[in-house]
Amino acid sequence: MASSLASPSPVLKKPVKLACIQLAAGSDKQANLEHARSKVLEAAQAGAGIIVLPECFNSPYGCDFFPRYAETLLPSPPPRDQSPSFHALSAMAAEAGAYLVGGSIPERDPQVPDRYYNTSLTFDRRGRLLATHRKVHLFDIDIPGKITFRESDVLSPGNKVTVVDLPDYGRIGVAICYDVRFPELAAIAARKGCFALVYPGAFNLTTGPMHWKLLAQGRAVDNQVYVALCSPARDVSGPYHAWGHSMIVDPLAEVVVEAEEKEAIVSWGLDNGKIEEVRRNIPLTTQRRFDVYPDVSQGDVKFTEEGLP
């Protein structure tokens, strides 16, 4: 028996080129921001309408660095001296004339001392903030002899699913890195009509080869949407060795474009016809059995205020 609760069709109103910038960043925040600007403009000049930066694109990645690089993002817009990254991202989106998923930056809570988040800001083509996503699932893992990481020693989690309306194109879901491991978050965003799920991320040399591509393909095949993962470039002289391999996966779960580990821009033209074709040929969206299991997109789901009308 097919479910009567059909998901809303994803609407990508018109084709758009999405670009992931696999940015090489160092410890100089201002230099990172300037470098990001030049790459965002390069992507826009090559025709990208949606541009994505990596997780922690303006600092080294690591618990020791979060407080030192953190910026206060509230009230919004924050005063310039408290968030140079907010204002730089807003300006680069406007200058590029493109939607910008601004990777992520460490955020300082304006009210609670020593409370920090890993936060992604999305701007429209005029540089106006559309949405804020605080990483919901913190990266706490321990693979003995390989990698131990405990973001929760320093960071607090966000508590909302982020679905962003891009007025020219439709909805995207935005989440950060470890969030990609949680299919519920992706399913909720996809069932709210997103045409793409976008993850700034920074996997490592242990879990990157194991799971990065698998997870991108998993989220795409489950939800029949585009998935974009955007990593920093690998810097073996720095404290954290990112996997790289930024990629875009299509709704059939094919990796259509993938970087290596060096700095690169990877881009792909997204097309609603592809989503429709995949959903027509393999009609999961009308075959779900919400009489057997619950629809995670219904009920007490919390969205970013900006996320949905």
Ligand X SMILES: O=C(O)CCC(=O)C(=O)O
Q: Which residues are catalytic?
A: 55, 135, 177
Work out whether 117 is an interface residue with ligand X (CB under 6 A): no
- Min dist CB 186 to ligand X, Å, is 14
Work out whether 139 is an interface residue with ligand X (CB under 6 A): yes
Residue pair 71/108 in contact (Cβ under 8 Å)? The answer is yes
Q: Residue 127: name the closest of 162, 102, 92, 83 by CA.
A: 92
- Give the integer Cα–Cα distance in Å for 285 and 187: 11
For 262, counting Cβ atoms within 10 Å of its Cβ (0-12 exposed, 13-18 middle, 19+ buried), the class is: exposed
Q: Which of residues 176-205 bind ligand X (CB under 6 A)?
A: 177-178, 181, 202-204
- Min dist CB 130 to ligand X, Å, is 23
Choice between 180 and 188, CB closer to ligand X: 180
- Give the integer Cα–Cα distance in Å for 28 and 69: 10
- Min dist CB 173 to ligand X, Å, is 16
Choice between 59 and 267, CB closer to ligand X: 59
CA 295 and chain centroid, separation:
23
- Min dist CB 137 to ligand X, Å, is 8
The sign of the torsion formed by the CA atoms of 174, 179, 185, 186 equals positive
Q: Which of residues 245-284 bind ligand X (CB under 6 A)?
A: none
Choice between 78 and 106, CB closer to ligand X: 106
- Give the integer Cα–Cα distance in Å for 296 and 298: 5
Choice between 124 and 235, CB closer to ligand X: 235
The residue within the footprint of ligand X, chosen from 207, 217, 272, 285 (CB under 6 A), is 207
First CA to last CA distance, the chain: 32
- Min dist CB 27 to ligand X, Å, is 18
Q: Which of residues 141-170 bind ligand X (CB under 6 A)?
A: none
- Min dist CB 238 to ligand X, Å, is 14
Binding map of ligand X across residues 49-88, x = CB under 6 A, - = no contact:
------x---------------------------------
Choice between 207 and 304, CB closer to ligand X: 207
In our burial notation (b when 16+ CB lie closer than 10 A, e otherwise), range 289-307 reads: eeeeeebbbeeebeebebb
Work out whether 116 is an interface residue with ligand X (CB under 6 A): no
Cis status of the peptide bond prior to 67, with omega within 30 of 0: no
Choice between 153 and 291, CB closer to ligand X: 153
In our burial notation (b when 16+ CB lie closer than 10 A, e otherwise), range 232-248 reads: bbbbeebebbbbbbbbb
Tell me the two tokens of residue 274. 């592809």
Binding site for ligand X (CB under 6 A): 55, 139, 177-178, 181, 202-204, 207, 211
